[in-house]
Homo-oligomer: A and B are copies of this chain.
Amino acid sequence: MPTQISPDKHKRIIEAAIKVFAKKGFFNAKISEIAQEADVADGTIYLYFKSKDDILIHLFEESMDRLIKLIQTELAKENDPVSKLKRFIQLHFTLVEGNPNLAEVITVELRQSNKFMKEYDNVKFRDYLNLISSVIREGQARGVIRRDIVPAIIKRALFGALDEVTLPWALSEKKKYSLSELAEHITNLFISGITC
């Protein structure tokens, strides 16, 4: 029933939730706040989502789906695996920069709570990480990335580095610097690390 009823309200609720979760954190966020932010009645939320948890899951899955598709499209434009990796890092920062609240929710809220890291099998996040390992494997096949690198480890290491570098930026009220500036820095480090 959900999305059919009114795609608009579904979207408004998700967007309100991103804002409120980013500001208060999932557990401190109140349904009534989300409702107010989305300009709907409290009860309306339950026409679109089963529960508060469900909002978080949907917001995560839908956002990740979009991001993954966007990145896939962009990476397809690059030929060289190393260029793909550079592009990936660049895109990650650009996306975080363009959606700071979403970035904060995904980074901060989703990590918490056994609900989402233990019980909830986080397929979308694995897909995101696998964008990295695919490129690395491709690079290894072509001989441009060191063979002794284990993609399954390095995908997490890279994501962790990006994520942690991103965190203080996402949490700061006033963004003092642009994330994109950091991209080259991290890129250099990683490319050197895995190629030389």
Question: B24 contacts A114, CB within 8 Å?
Answer: yes
Known: A154-B189, A157-B189. A117 touches B108 (CB 8 A): yes
Q: Is A37 interfacial (CB-CB < 8 Å)?
A: no
The one of B108, B161, B188 that contacts A161, using a Cβ cutoff of 8 Å: B161
Give the interface residue-count category, chain A: 35 or more
Question: B185 contacts A156, CB within 8 Å?
Answer: no
Copies in the complex: 4
The one of B108, B113, B150, B167 that contacts A25, using a Cβ cutoff of 8 Å: B113
Residue of B nearest to A196 (CB): B196
**Complex CA–CA separation, A118 to B173 (angstroms):** 9
Taking the nearest CB of chain B, how far is it from the CB of A178, in angstroms? 13
Q: Is A175 interfacial (CB-CB < 8 Å)?
A: no
Identify which of A109, A149, A163 gathers the most chain B CB atoms within 10 Å of its CB. A163
4 A-B pairs with the lowest CB-CB distances in the bound complex, closest first: A160-B164, A193-B193, A157-B161, A160-B160
Q: Is A79 interfacial (CB-CB < 8 Å)?
A: no
Q: Is A69 interfacial (CB-CB < 8 Å)?
A: no
Question: B186 contacts A153, CB within 8 Å?
Answer: yes
Question: B182 contacts A189, CB within 8 Å?
Answer: no
Which A positions have Cβ atoms within 8 angstroms of B? 23-28, 107-109, 111-115, 117-118, 148-150, 153-154, 156-165, 167-168, 171, 182, 185-186, 188-190, 192-194, 196
**Complex CA–CA separation, A157 to B162 (angstroms):** 7
Given contacts A117-B171, A160-B164, 14 further A-B contacts (CB under 8 A): A27-B112, A28-B113, A108-B112, A108-B117, A111-B167, A118-B171, A148-B188, A153-B182, A154-B189, A157-B164, A160-B160, A192-B192, A192-B194, A193-B193
Taking the nearest CB of chain B, how far is it from the CB of A85, in angstroms? 13
